[in-house]
Structures are given as structure tokens and as C-alpha cells.
Amino acid sequence: MPKMTPVVRTISEIRSLVAEWKKEGLRVGLVPTMGALHHGHLSLVNAITEHSDRIIVSIFVNPTQFGAHEDLDKYPRQEASDREKLAATPASIVFAPSVEEMYPSGHTTRVTLDGLSEILEGANRIGHFDGVATIVSKLFMQCQPDVAIFGEKDYQQLAVIRQFTRDLDIPVQILGGKLIRESDGLAASSRNAYLSEKERRIAGTFNVILKELVSKAEAGEDLRVLEGEASDALLKAGFTAVDYVSIVHKDTLHEIHEITEEARVVSVARLGDIRLLDNMAIKAP
């Protein structure tokens, strides 16, 4: 039988385990995931190792961050293979609660944010970040980590989590994990598995088009023109739709008109029903 990282499934179990670790003076790290783990997730586990003595990897497909027409039912659930992959990392325990454990009958509370959660992804996926903020807040309360890490692929999600953690005075250090890419530069994502062979080839052009935008932005070209050119290039490459290509402030994610400090290009392009996210840093001149 393959080696697997041990699993607990209830809030009482994880709290009891963390209490034991804390009594020993150990520092606890949390890597929240929705499972279907790939090398991007595993890189987060390895990255948090230097900041923690014990590492919890949560696996929970959170229904409150999916919209009515999104892929909740189709989202891959591969707990056994996830635990096998984690066995080769420093992960200490998997926390894999049921929906009923996380949202028992009568649960009515949501964590909501103004501003940052209403633009870009928030405007395209109404209520998505309320679901993210709620589940991450619950995981922080349940696991009581000293530090937690989130991948930079979901750049706006990372910004949202940093914001509500500050606003609510939650004593958890938030780390950003480097965006991990496939050999052709496509951002690693569980949803890449949905792509057909043809779609996968098209997807590989996403990062190439954004790199060209970054190069031109750093050379001082007009930012709005560059956004339009990149959108056109994505459609020409075979993407079926572009939700947005936006050059924004790296922290507030508000649109900017010139590069005076490090900025970010954030983008979502679609291949059929599959939404692909990417982002890149733009250096100041």
C-alpha cells in the first residue's frame, strides 16, 4: 500500500492536535487547498517549511466560492493521490473535513469585503471572494496557524486574504508562494487537466502574450493600448473569450496609467468553459 500523509476530518481533531504542538512550542504552518494537487501546491508545502515546525495541508472543495454556473460538481476530487503526493513532502497532517463539518445546518455567517473583492475576479464572479474570505477565516480559527501560504497564481485572492487578515487583526503571517509554471510557461492549475490537446497548445501562448505586454509596458508604451493589444492577441491565438487584461497597482489592484513603481498585469482568458488565470510583475523604469 502506498505511503500517505495521515488525515483528520473533524474540527475537534485538528484543534486537539494543534494544541499538542503548541504546548511543545512548535510553530504551525497552514497550506489551504481544494485538492487535485499539482507541483504548484507541493511547492507551497516546501516553501512554508522554513517558517514552521509542523505543516497542515487542508483539502476542502469549498462550495461557497463557486457561482451557480461554475464547476463545483466537476471539480476534481483526488484525496488518495493527493495524500500520496504529500507523503513525499514535509507535510505533517491533512485536514480534510466534509461540507457538513465546515457548514453545519444553521450556518449563516459570511465574511465580506468592500472594494478589493468587487473588481476584476470579483466583478466576474459575484460573491466568490466572500466565499474565499469565509472559508479561510474558518480554517484560521480551526487550525490556529502561525503562518499560512497562498500561491501568487491567484494574485487577487492573495491580496484579499492579506486585506481581511489585517482588517480583522488575525494573528497569522501571510506568505505568497511563487507562481509555478509548466514547461511551456502556462501557470500550473488543477483546471489545466480539463483542457483538450488542442486547447492545451493554445493555453501555452497565454504567458508569451503577457510577457510581450510586460516588455512594452516597461519600455513606456501606453498601458491601455497594451491591454487592448494583448486581448486581441489572445483571441487571435484561439482563446474563446477574454474576461480582462488589466495593468494594476501591485497592492490595491486599481488600474494605473503609468508605471512609477512595480505594477502587475492580471488576466483571465477562456477556452470554452475553462477560465485560465495568469499574472506577471511589471518593473518600474
What pLDDT digit, counting tens, does each position of 208-244 carry? 999 999 999 999 999 999 999 999 999 999 999 999 9
Q: Are 200 and 173 contained in the same domain?
A: no
CA angle 121, 201, 278 (to 5 degrees): 25
Q: The CATH number of the domain where 253 resides is what?
A: 3.30.1300.10
Q: How confident is the model at residue 75 (pLDDT cuts 50, 70, 90)?
A: confident
**Of 49, 46, 35, 50, residue with least CA distance to 84:** 35
Quote the CA–CA distance of 85 and 3 in Å, as a whole number. Answer: 9
Asked whether residue 185 is domain-assigned, the answer is no
Q: Are 194 and 238 contained in the same domain?
A: yes
- pLDDT (0 to 100) of residue 76: 79
Model confidence pTM above 0.85: yes
Q: Is the pLDDT confidence value at 191 over 90? A: no
Q: Are 139 and 255 contained in the same domain?
A: no
Share of the chain above pLDDT 90, in %: 89
At 98, which helix (H) or strand (E)? none
Asked whether residue 35 is domain-assigned, the answer is yes
Q: Are 230 and 154 contained in the same domain?
A: no
Of 133, 149, 177, which residue is a domain's last? 177
Q: Is the pLDDT confidence value at 70 over 80? A: no
Mean pLDDT of 146-160: 97
**Of 238, 232, 229, 179, residue with least CA distance to 203:** 238
Q: Are 117 and 226 contained in the same domain?
A: no
What pLDDT digit, counting tens, does each position of 107-121 carry? 999 999 998 889 999
Asked whether residue 182 is domain-assigned, the answer is no
Quote the CA–CA distance of 246 and 224 in Å, as a whole number. Answer: 8
What integer best gives the mean pLDDT of the chain? Answer: 95
Full residue range of the structural domain in which residue 116 is found? 7-177
Q: How confident is the model at residue 138 (pLDDT cuts 50, 70, 90)?
A: very high
Q: Are 229 and 154 contained in the same domain?
A: no
Catalytic residues: 41
Take residue 234 and report the three cell numbers written for it.
489572445
CA angle 75, 77, 82 (to 5 degrees): 130
